[in-house]
C-alpha cells in the first residue's frame, strides 16, 4: 500500500494540465490511436501487438515485449536532479551503445515511425506503445498523457545491465527518481512478457545462439500476469535472469530479493500486481525532462464528431458538409447502437438551425472496437448549405430509442465550423511518381470573398519529415509555402488558391495546415489525398 501511495503523490509534483474536453483538441489524433484497434474504422497502430504474442513472422520476436523494453531503455537514463532525459525518444540516437544491444529498438522505432506527427511526437508514440502493449496482453489501463518533446541528440548513458552489481543498479534507478520498491515492481512488470535473445546475450541464454533459442522470463510470456513473481518466489521457473547458471548476470534475482522479498510477496496477489504495474508504468512514461509539461490523461471521448469535408460544392453557390459522429456504445454506457438515432443541428450566421440526419454506417456493422471491451458506433452525414448563409457551429442530438433526446453542445459553445478558409480536398492530390527522391503534393484552398485582403494569399504549413543521421525517427520541420491565386476560378463566395509542394518520398505520410491571417484549416494528411 505504501508503494502505491508514494507513487500516487508523484503527479502532485509534475506539471499536469487539467481541462474538460472541447472539440477539436490537439489530443484527438492520439485518442483515435488509443481508442480504436479494429472494426469499420481503425488506424492500424496496434496491428503488430494484437494478439500479445504476435511476432510479425520472425522467430523469437514478441513485439509487445520489445515495445515495453524500448520505453524502459529510453526512460531509465533520466537524471531527476538535473531534469534531463526520460521518455524523450533519445533512444533513436543511442542504439549503437552496448547497453542497447540488439535489433529490438530500431525495429520498434521503425514500426512506430509513420505515426509521428506535429501532434504526436516520437516520445508520445512510445508512451502509447507501452499503454497499448499492456492492454493487448491483459494488463490494466495505464493512463496516457501527451506533450512529450523529442530529443535532438543522444542522452546520457546508464541503462542498468544484467552484470551490474546491485548497488550500481539501485543507484541508476535512484538517479532516475525511482525507489527500491518501484525498481522491483518495474522489473517484475516488464519481465512478465518476453525473454532473452540468445543471439544478443549468449552467455545468459545458454545453448546455441539462434533466433529460436529465447529463454522466457516466465511460463506465460504472452500474458500480462504475475506468474513471473510466483515462479521466482517458489524457486521453480526458467527466468534466465533469476535461474541462470551465471550468478553474475542473475540481475532479476538480485533486484527481486533486494528488500528480502517484501515487495515481491505483495505482488504475488494478482490484483496488487496489476494495480501496481499500471501505476509504476504510468510513472515510467511520465518521467520526462523538467521543461516538459504533460497534459491531463487522455480519456476516451464519449461522442466525437469528424468533419471529413467542408468545401465548395459542385454547385457553385453551395458548401458541402460531410462527416461522421463516433458514439461510444460500450456495455457500460447503456446505449443500444441498434436503436440509437443521431442527428446534427447546424447553426448558420443568421441564427437559424437546420437539422441534419446521420445514419449508421453499413460497412463492417458500422462499429470499431478497442481495448477493455470498448465499442464505438459510427453515424455518417452528408449535406450542402447555401454558402451565403455562413456556417457557425453544430450541436449533436442523441435519441436513444424511446428515451429522452440528449443534446451535446461541446461544453456550451457548440462544435465550431469555420467556413472562411476551406481546404478543397476534391482538387488536392498526391502524385506518386518519384522525381529526385520527392513526391509532389498539390493543395487547393478557398477563401471567402468577404475576408480577402488585397495581395494576401493563404500559406501552407507543411510538416516535412527530415531524416536524421543514425536515427530511425525523423525530425519534423514545419515549412511555409505561399499559395497562388487560381486564375479564372471564382465561385460566388470564394476565391481559390493552389500550391505544389515537394516532400521526401520516404516520408510521404505527413500532415499540413493552411493559414490565412488568424484563420486555419488544420491537420490534413497527405496519405489521405487522391492520386494525381
Q: What's the mean pLDDT in 155-184? A: 98
Residues β-bridged to residue 369:
38, 375
**Average pLDDT over every residue of 161-176:** 98
Residues 494-514 as b/e (b if ≥16 CB within 10 A, e otherwise) read: bbbbbbebbbeeebbbbbbbb
Q: 265-320: per-residue pLDDT in tens?
A: 999 999 999 999 999 999 999 999 999 999 999 999 999 999 999 999 999 899 99
pTM, rounded to two decimals: 0.93
What residues does each domain of the chain span?
2-285, 303-418, 422-531
- Which three three-digit cell numbers place residue 297? 490523461
Is CATH 1.20.1440.230 correct for 2-285? no
- pLDDT at 11 > cutoff 50: no
pLDDT of residue 200: 87
Closest CA to 462 of 522, 519, 417: 522
> Which pLDDT score is estimated for 42?
92
Q: What is the dihedral of CA 360, 365, 368, 373, to 10 degrees?
A: 110
Predicted confidence (pLDDT) at residue 511 exceeds the cutoff of 50: yes
Question: Residues 170, 183: contact at Cβ < 8 Å?
Answer: yes
Beta strands 530-531; 429-435: pairing state = parallel
Answer yes or no: is pLDDT of 228 > 80: yes
Per-residue model confidence (pLDDT) at position 206: 86
Q: Are strands 367-369 and 391-400 parallel, antiparallel or unpaired?
A: unpaired
Would the pLDDT of 198 be above 70? yes
Domain 422-531: which CATH number of 2.60.40, 1.20.1630, 1.10.287, 3.50.4: 2.60.40
Per DSSP bridges, beta strands 484-490 and 475-482 are unpaired
Question: Per residue, what are the HEC states of 396-413?
Answer: EEEEECCCCCEEECCCCC
pLDDT at 13 over 90: no
* pLDDT, average across residues 120-130: 98
For position 19, what pLDDT does the model report? 63
Tell me how crowded residue 531 is: count the other CB atoms within 10 A of its CB. Answer: 8
The predicted pLDDT at position 247 comes to 96
The residue that leads in pLDDT, 295 or 7, is 295
Residue 401: is its pLDDT beyond 90?
A: no
Architecture of the 303-418 domain: Sandwich (2.60)
Q: Would the CATH topology of 303-418 be identical to that of 422-531?
A: yes
SS3 514: strand
Position 328 confidence tier, pLDDT thresholds 50, 70, 90? very high
Asked if the model's pLDDT at residue 203 lies above 80, the reply is yes
With bands split at pLDDT 50, 70 and 90, how would you rate the model's confidence at 58? confident
Q: Does position 506 have pLDDT exceeding 90, yes or no? A: no
Grid cell at residue 322? 460531410
| All cell numbers assigned to 239 | 527466468
The mean per-residue pLDDT over the stretch 106-124 comes to 97
Peptide bond into 24 cis (omega under 30): yes
For the segment 145-166, the average pLDDT, to the nearest whole number, is 97
Mean pLDDT of the chain: 94
Amino acid at each position: 500500500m505504501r508503494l502505491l501511495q508514494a507513487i500516487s503523490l508523484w503527479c502532485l509534483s509534475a506539471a499536469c494540465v487539467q481541462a474538460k474536453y472541447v472539440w477539436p483538441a490537439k489530443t484527438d489524433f492520439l485518442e483515435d490511436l488509443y481508442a480504436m484497434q479494429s472494426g469499420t474504422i481503425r488506424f492500424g497502430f496496434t496491428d503488430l501487438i494484437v494478439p500479445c504474442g504476435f511476432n510479425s513472422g520472425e522467430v523469437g520476436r514478441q513485439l509487445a515485449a520489445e515495445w515495453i523494453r524500448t520505453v524502459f531503455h529510453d526512460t531509465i537514463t533520466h537524471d531527476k536532479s538535473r531534469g534531463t532525459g526520460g521518455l524523450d525518444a533519445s533512444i533513436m540516437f543511442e542504439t549503437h551503445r552496448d547497453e542497447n544491444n540488439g535489433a529490438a529498438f530500431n525495429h520498434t522505432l521503425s514500426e512506430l515511425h509513420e505515426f509521428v506527427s506535429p501532434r504526436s511526437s516520437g516520445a508520445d508514440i512510445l508512451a502509447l506503445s507501452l499503454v497499448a502493449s499492456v492492454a493487448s496482453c491483459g494488463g490494466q489501463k495505464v493512463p496516457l498523457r501527451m506533450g512529450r518533446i523529442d530529443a535532438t541528440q543522444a542522452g546520457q548513458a546508464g541503462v542498468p545491465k544484467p552484470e551490474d552489481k546491485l548497488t550500481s543498479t539501485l543507484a541508476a534507478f535512484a538517479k532516475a527518481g525511482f525507489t527500491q520498491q518501484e525498481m522491483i515492481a518495474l522489473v517484475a512488470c516488464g519481465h512478465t512478457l518476453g525473454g532473452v535473445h540468445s543471439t544478443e546475450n549468449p552467455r545468459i541464454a545458454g545453448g546455441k545462439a539462434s533466433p529460436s533459442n529465447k529463454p522466457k522470463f516466465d511460463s506465460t510470456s504472452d500474458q500480462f500476469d504475475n506468474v513471473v513473481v510466483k515462479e521466482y518466489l517458489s524457486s521453480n521457473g526458467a527466468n534466465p535472469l533469476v535461474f541462470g547458471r551465471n550468478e553474475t548476470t542473475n540481475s532479476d534475482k538480485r533486484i527481486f530479493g533486494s528488500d528480502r522479498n517484501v515487495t515481491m510477496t505483495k505482488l504475488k496477489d494478482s490484483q496488487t500486481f496489476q494495480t501496481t504495474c499500471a501505476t509504476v508504468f504510468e510513472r515510467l512514461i511520465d518521467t520526462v525532462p523538467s521543461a516538459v509539461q504533460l497534459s491531463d490523461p487522455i480519456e476516451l471521448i464519449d461522442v466525437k464528431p469528424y468533419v471529413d469535408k467542408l468545401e465548395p460544392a459542385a454547385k457553385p453557390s453551395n458548401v458541402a458538409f460531410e462527416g461522421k459522429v463516433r458514439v461510444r456504445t460500450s456495455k457500460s454506457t447503456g446505449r443500444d447502437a441498434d436503436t440509437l438515432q443521431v442527428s446534427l443541428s447546424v447553426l448558420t450566421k443568421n441564427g437559424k438551425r437546420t437539422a441534419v440526419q446521420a445514419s449508421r454506417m453499413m460497412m463492417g456493422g458500422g462499429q470499431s472496437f478497442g481495448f477493455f471491451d470498448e465499442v464505438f458506433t459510427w453515424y455518417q452525414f452528408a449535406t450542402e448549405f447555401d454558402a451565403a448563409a455562413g456556417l457557425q457551429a453544430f450541436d449533436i442530438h442523441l435519441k436513444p430509442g424511446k428515451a429522452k433526446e440528449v443534446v451535446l453542445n461541446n461544453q456550451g459553445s457548440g462544435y465550431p465550423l469555420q467556413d472562411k478558409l476551406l481546404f478543397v480536398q476534391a482538387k488536392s492530390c498526391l502524385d506518386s511518381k518519384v522525381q529526385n527522391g520527392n513526391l509532389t503534393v498539390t493543395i487547393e484552398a478557398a477563401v471567402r470573398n468577404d475576408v480577402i485582403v488585397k495581395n494576401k494569399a493563404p500559406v501552407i504549413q507543411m510538416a516535412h519529415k527530415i531524416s536524421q543521421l543514425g536515427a530511425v525517427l525523423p525530425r519534423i520541420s514545419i515549412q511555409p509555402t505561399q499559395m497562388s491565386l487560381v486564375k479564372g476560378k471564382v465561385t460566388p463566395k470564394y476565391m481559390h488558391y493552389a500550391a505544389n509542394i515537394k516532400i521526401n518520398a520516404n516520408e510521404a505520410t505527413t500532415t499540413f495546415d493552411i493559414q490565412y491571417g488568424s484563420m486555419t484549416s488544420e491537420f490534413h494528411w497527405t496519405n489521405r489525398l487522391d492520386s494525381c
